[in-house]
Amino acid sequence: MHELSLTRNIVAIVSERANGAKVTQVILEVGKLSAVIPDAIRFCFDIVAKGTVLEGARLDVIEIPGRGRCRDCGSELELRQFVERCTCGSANVERLAGEELTIKQMVTV
């Protein structure tokens, strides 16, 4: 479960940025094509945050859908999986969104 190590890194980054202030909320963007399971991050968050400035903070996860553009016909399409074909039949699809794992915002008091 790589989500545990990802969550540890998220907590470490936010803790460092908080500079000692109490964190009450963290907003995370997770792309649907990122191979990160949001529920696993949520599960690990409270455990990893215990004893840090994030203890008790709310974690909000925004899931970013996969989007791509066909390099052959120029059409944009929703990507439900990492490799997908365009409606024109081409597999030459550039991924535009869906691979994110971003700490979007943190709220401190």
70 is in an annotated binding site: yes
State the Cα–Cα distance between residues 65 and 29, nearest whole angstrom: 10
Q: What share of the chain is helix, strand, coil (3-state, %, to 5)?
A: 25, 35, 40
Cα-atom radius of gyration of the chain, to the nearest Å?
A: 17
44 is in an annotated binding site: no
Annotated binding site for Zn(2+): 70, 73, 86, 88
Annotated binding site for Ni(2+): 2
Annotated binding site: 2, 70, 73, 86, 88
